[in-house]
Amino acid sequence: MIVLRFTSGLGNQMFQYAMYRFLVQRFGRSRVKCDITWFSWNNAHQGFELTKLFQRKDNPDFFLDRASLGQIFNCSGKVPQKGLISRIINRTVRAVFQNYFEKRLISETGRESSGRVPHALKEIQKLKGNEDIYITGYFLDESYYKDNLPLLRKALSFDIRSLNNKSRSLLKSLLSEDSVAIHVRRGDYLQPGYTENFINLGMDYYKKAVEAVGQHIKDPKYYLFSDDPDFLNEAFDWLPNKIIVDWNKGAESWMDLYLMSKCRGCITANSTFSEWAGLLNERKESIIIYPREYMKDKESDIKTIPGWIRI
């Protein structure tokens, strides 16, 4: 049994889902299960969103098979950390069987050096298919999803019937114009625990990105998206012909990702949220600008997808 752990916000969950489908193709659906118990004790972001957003009768391309608590424990030696008793169990198992379960663990932090075969991929390639393995990580390298993008775009298709009225109205404009989305992530990136690791992209990046867009799109109209919309007016006072999209919050945040994916172009932040807006983009001759700077100790992975430009 192979158990894949899901954590974090929507963008990371989507990369983990891409890894899930990669594993299913390699080992078969019956051999690969998903551990979503992290969300039973962690309230970050909007919780586990994949099934809420993509699992519906008219989307047969999406599936996700959950692991039982027994399967999770057998592969990882852990139970969900909901309270003192579960923490005691995990510490005890770790103290007695640490070496045993470490041999079953494949972990990829997302900080591995660019240009190499990803760590998890190396380990997965060694598997025969009958081992009990627990896989955890973020899996940002395109090796896991590039060849599967057509399939993933179907599976990870949003239900536009759920759009609020303002987003539904905006969608018509985005599709009819040479629209370009700009994503600015601040929010948690300015909080302790994030500032030590993530770069807060400055205007130098966004000005270079707008210049690059201008080389490919003659008369772009910019739509700005952010978890800190109040910051945008002053910070982007140099940018003409722009509209700030500031109404999708909380449980409706996914609508920003969907709307960005429908633009002719996208200037992403160092964020998996807007990265997926670029990956889901199916418009002809789309241009996706993404930053070289990603984390303080790691640059972004180089993408070979047509239309993607690294700055």
Question: Domain map of the chain by residue range?
Answer: 2-146, 162-310
Burial class (CB in 10 A: 0-12, 13-18, 19+), 282: exposed
What's residue 144's pLDDT? 95
The band of 113, judged by pLDDT with boundaries at 50, 70 and 90, is low
pTM for this entry: 0.93
Predicted local distance difference test score (pLDDT) of residue 41: 84
Q: What is the mean pLDDT of the chain?
A: 92
Q: Is the pLDDT of residue 250 over 70?
A: yes
Task: Give the percent of the chain with pLDDT over 70.
Answer: 96
Q: Is the pLDDT of residue 115 over 60?
A: no
pLDDT band for 13, please (50, 70, 90 cuts): very high
pLDDT bracket for residue 164 (50, 70, 90): very high
Residue 111: pLDDT band by 50, 70, 90 thresholds?
A: low
Q: Is residue 89's pLDDT more than 60?
A: yes
User: Would you say domain 162-310 falls under CATH 3.30.479.10?
Assistant: no
User: Does pLDDT of 272 surpass 60?
Assistant: yes
CB 9 within 8 A of CB 46: yes
Looking at residue 34, its pLDDT comes to 98
First-last CA distance in the chain: 41
Give the pLDDT of residue 103. 86
For residue 217, is pLDDT > 80? yes
Band (pLDDT 50/70/90 cuts) for residue 112 is low
Identify the band that residue 128 occupies on the pLDDT scale cut at 50, 70 and 90.
confident
Q: What does the pLDDT look like over 14-70, one tens digit per residue? A: 999 999 999 999 999 999 999 999 999 887 789 999 999 999 999 999 999 999 999
How large is the average pLDDT for residues 189-200?
74
Structure token digits, residue 246: 């500031």
In angstroms, the CA 231 to CA 227 distance is 9
The whole-number average pLDDT for the span 251-256 is 97
pLDDT at 190 over 80: no
Q: If you average pLDDT over residues 179-183, what whole number do you get?
A: 98
- 59-63, 190-194, 200-204, 281-285: the lowest-pLDDT one: 190-194
Confidence check: pLDDT of 148 > 70? yes
What would the mean pLDDT of 265-294 be, rounded to a whole number?
A: 96
Model pLDDT for residues 94-106, shown as the tens digit of each residue:
777 777 788 889 9
